Amino acid sequence: MKLNFQQKNFLLVLWIILVVACSSQRSLTKQEVIEDIIHSISSENLKTTVLELQNFNTRYPYEKQLKVADYLYNRIKAYIPDTQFHIYEYWGVYWKNVIATIPGLDYPNKVYIVCAHFDSKSEKRLVYAPGADDNASGCAAVLEVARVLSSYHFKHTIKFIFFSREENGQNGSRAYIRSINPNEEKIIGVINIDMIAFGSDKEDIDLVTRPKHRWIVNYVNQIGKLYNIPTKKVIKKHCF
């Protein structure tokens, strides 16, 4: 389906991510620097990215995945020089994820990930799967957060990742996890952005996680209350 563009939904989600990235877990107080960062978010950038991804016409897991990866690589590398392809094999074909990294100053091996998948599907998947909401919207958010945060420094490493082939078994993200050396990279938390552009401006932000990782949902929910952002905690035993 094509995009029913909901600017407020984008901004609320971006607000949450920016606060999490810039806050200390020890102190939940409003910070002026976060307010400044938020004001630099561009709704036009968000809309442009969604429309450009939509204009690929189909991003079905077997269609145009390499071209879309190249597009996202070029876009995010303009903001973050440390951008690479993560190449993996599936069914004898090589596919690409895109990873941009802002290295942490104090704890470079401890990583926070902000991610989204860029493939899409529909009933006419081979010829028409524009995926404006699912999930060009998530990719637009990741790209805009990367642009904004690229001018700042952080204690922990932040990775912005675009995953390919999510719709048919999370192939891209699974391949990335398998490639990690836990002695070199410890993932502290992940914010996965999926389908944030469609719906009413009165909707809240669903914070979905498993019981084991409820700490990050509790933390983000506290931030939401601090900044008057409507959030809803959803703890599921089984979720991706």
Q: Please report the beta strands in the chain, taking only residues with DSSP state E, as ranges in sequence order.
A: 83-90, 93-102, 107-117, 156-163, 186-192, 205-209, 231-235
CA pair distance 205, 71, nearest whole angstrom = 28
CA distances for 114 relative to 37, 59, 101, 157, 162, angstroms: 17, 21, 10, 11, 9
Quick check: is 166 catalytic?
yes
Say what the pTM is: 0.88
> Where residue 1 falls among pLDDT bands split at 50, 70, 90?
very low
pLDDT, residue 3, reads 42
Catalytic residue among 32, 35, 52, 166: 166
Could you check whether the bond before residue 57 is cis, i.e. omega within 30 degrees of 0? no
**Mean pLDDT of the chain, nearest integer:** 85
The residue-averaged pLDDT of 158-174 equals 95
Q: Which CATH number fits domain 7-235: 2.170.120.12, 3.40.640.10, 3.10.180.10, 3.40.630.10?
A: 3.40.630.10
Q: Residue 137 is encoded by which pair of tokens?
A: 């919207």
pLDDT, residue 221, reads 81
